[in-house]
Amino acid sequence: MDLPTNTVAHAFAQSAAQFGARPFLAVLPETATIYVVPAGETTYAQMLARIEPLRAAYAAAGYGHGHRVGLLLENRPAFFVHWFALNGLGVSVVPINLDLRSAELEYLVAHSEIAVAPEQAEEEAPTVDLMEALRRSVEEAKSAKQAGNGAAKKKAAPKKASARPKKTATR
């Protein structure tokens, strides 16, 4: 598979080839405790070794140029692993802050056209689809708003994310 060469992920891979033994990321002990991640340094080479299998998993799942994937904004090394893996395939990453109000999440989901929002606490293939949870949250907020306004509109069932995403044209 030919990977894009004009991405941040490609630049990172080049840096990893040149500076593999140097530290890329440091997790302080107090941060590690809060986010339940190991404390210490991660080298460029170690990070690249974590990125490549995930990139391959996303590619095998059909993700590539033209897709949009939501990533939770969490202060964890896994965020960078997912971001580089997706960026290396030409996928656009949509940052998701779950502290947003339901109307803001509704706008984000509707306008970003994200195909999936994987749980990124683990560095595995995207097996947990948070899009369904986001859609349910948005639908519940709409229902609550309609009930508060006295509207008796029928609630639409949320669409399920497909196992294989559709390629979309870039804008």
2-28 pLDDT per residue, tens: 667 789 999 999 999 999 999 999 999
How many whole angstroms separate alpha carbon 116 and alpha carbon 71? 9
Residue 118 DSSP code = B
DSSP string, 17-32: HHHTTSEEEEE-HHHH
Residue indicated by tokens 């995930």: 54
Cα-atom radius of gyration of the chain, to the nearest Å?
A: 18
The string of pLDDT tens digits covering residues 75-130 is 788 889 999 999 999 999 998 887 888 888 888 888 888 877 776 555 544 444 45
How many whole angstroms separate alpha carbon 73 and alpha carbon 79? 7
Residue indicated by tokens 């970003």: 112
The answer, as to whether pTM is greater than 0.75, is no
Give the model's pLDDT for residue 74. Answer: 77
Please name each of the domains of the chain with its CATH number: 8-148 (3.40.50.980)
pLDDT band at 51; cut points 50, 70, 90: very high
